[in-house]
Structure formats: C-alpha cells, structure tokens
Amino acid sequence: MTVSRSSLLGGLALEVTFDAPIGGMTWYGIGGRADTLVSPRTDEAVVELVARCRAQDVPVRVLGGGANLLVDDGGVDGIVVRLDNEHFQRVQYEAESAIGAMSAGAGVDLFRLVQDTKRRGLSGLEMMAGIPGTLGGAIRMNAGGAWGQMSDRLRTITHLSMDGVVKHLHADSLGFRYRGSDLPPGVVLQCTLDLNEDDPIAVSQRVKEIFQHKRASQPMADQSAGCAFRNPVDPTTGERTSAGAIIDAAGLKGHRIGGAAVSDQHANFIVCSPGASASDVRRLIDDIRTTVAARRGVTLDPEVVIWSRGDDS
C-alpha cells in the first residue's frame, strides 16, 4: 500500500488484519491473502473508510460469505471489507397486516436467515435454501435458481456508493435480472424484504424439498463455489439453457487440471481436492470455455468472481 495506514484506517471503528488469509475464507478454501482486511463496527466507519480510500486511490473490495469467489494465488491489494460484525448481522421483523416486512444487515448468513423465517412461518425465501453466502452478496449477484431469485422479495436497499454517498434505493428501479442488476458499484449495507405469513409446517416442507433436490443434483459436500458459469441464452429460442448440460455434452465431466476438476455429479461445478490452487481453477475455467466453444459453439460466461492483485473488483 503506497499510503500510510494511519491516514487510511486511523480513528475508525474497525477491526484490522494485515496479510489476512482470505482465500481460506472462501468456499473454494484456496487462494492468496489480502494486504488489509477490515471489519467495520458501524455504518459510519464504512462510509468514512470508503471516502478515504476514494480520496487516496486505494481499491476497495467487499468480502461476503465467499460463496462464488476465487482469490488469486498472488492475493489482493488495497482494502477488503468484511461486514461480519454483529451490527451488520441484525434482523428485525415488522408485521404489516398479512405481510412480514423484514429489515436485515448485509452480513446476515443466508442459511441462518432461511431457517429463521421458516421457524416464524414467513414464506418467500424458500428459493434460497441451500444457497451459501451472505445477504449482501446474494443481492449483489441476484442469487437464486429454478424456484426464484433474490430480487423477487427485495423492497429497498441501503447502498453506499464508491463516492461515499449513502442512498436508500427501491429494488424495482434497479433493473434486476438473471444474476445481475443495474445496482451501482459500492457496498450494500442493509435491505428490506417482503415476506408472507404462512403455515410454518408448509414453509418448512418447501425448504426441505428444495434443499433435498439440490443435495441430490449438486455436489454440496464437495469443496466448491457453486455454479462456475452462467446459463447461456439459446440464440434460436431466446431461452436460457443449462450450462451444466452443455459442459457435460462437451465431454468434460471429470476433466481435471491439477487439483481442480469438473464435478462428476453436476458439470457446472468445479470441485477442489487437497493441494488445489487458484491457478488450477483459473486454468480449468479457461479450458472449459475454450473446449465448449470449439465443440458446442457456445460462449460460457463465468459466474465465479475472480479477485487478483491490481484489478478493480
């Protein structure tokens, strides 16, 4: 870092770790270290930190649950922000007639949130069953699957821009779409969701069915970061097709580079064995894309986010 640590971090309500092993904090469990990892304790600390980074031209990245993230073996520079303090893990429910309005911090764990709403008999988040990560990350990538996506239940987002401006944004104005949106770069701090009052037993049954389907069809017990590629659009029908089916049809199930391999259970998952490196995963991603383009005429776009030293993530 070319600026002084005190000018960047001094006087702020932060927990700071230098040379932090963030690769091990991802679901891949591999990759390099962060020069500086910070865990803010207040919204004000995040706002001031981002403003200082902006003024001093220091890159900022936000680490959620690490569910769809690969950290390069060489690590990352700048500041990595992790909203894992209890301040960003608060959940509050407010009954509004037949609707359960919920506000939650961006650091809330998705597994925990699905279980909590299930126990309370609030439906709407069943589609997130079995999806790892934090609420902020799920919003940023509009996580979801066959049963729905995060934006289906979003009402508002509290967002900190990289210019240091906090805004309360309505979700319906942000152009949410398959694995993306028009949400500007920055930090999701909080959100509100619309949930429906329902029978706890019925909600629990739906969560169980979705989770069991995923467990039967996906390598959930393996060291993986979820789907490696976005489902591409079929140019003839305009509909999205299964990236896993395309990779399988290209004959790549079980294909391995170093310690990284295409899952035998679901071809859109890259799984790691002991000794795997981030370089192995990156090379395998590139090889899959090249082979699928050559054999199937399809261009696959990675869903996994890759952080490297010197990039602008």
Positions marked catalytic: 179, 227, 303
**Tokens, residue 86:** 């209890």
Question: How many angstroms separate the most distant Cα atoms in the chain?
Answer: 58
Q: How far is CA 49 from CA 115, 149, 159, in A?
A: 33, 31, 15
Dist CA 32 CA 277 (whole Å): 9
Q: Which SS3 state, helix, strand or coil, does residue 161 take?
A: strand
Q: How far is CA 172 from CA 119, 133, 220, in A?
A: 28, 23, 32
Q: How far is CA 12 from CA 7, 87, 165, in A?
A: 10, 15, 18
Strands 34-40 and 76-82 come out as parallel
DSSP E strand stretches across the chain: 14-20, 34-40, 60-63, 69-71, 76-82, 91-96, 99-105, 122-123, 144-145, 148-149, 154-161, 166-170, 186-197, 223-227, 256-257, 260-262, 269-272, 305-307
Q: Measure the CA angle with vertex 274, ends 273 and 278; round to 5°.
A: 75
Is 266 within 8 Å of 234 (Cβ atoms)?
A: no
**261 CB burial (10 A radius; 0-12, 13-18, 19+):** buried
166-171's contacts with Cβ under 8 Å and 24+ in sequence apart are: 166/43, 166/47
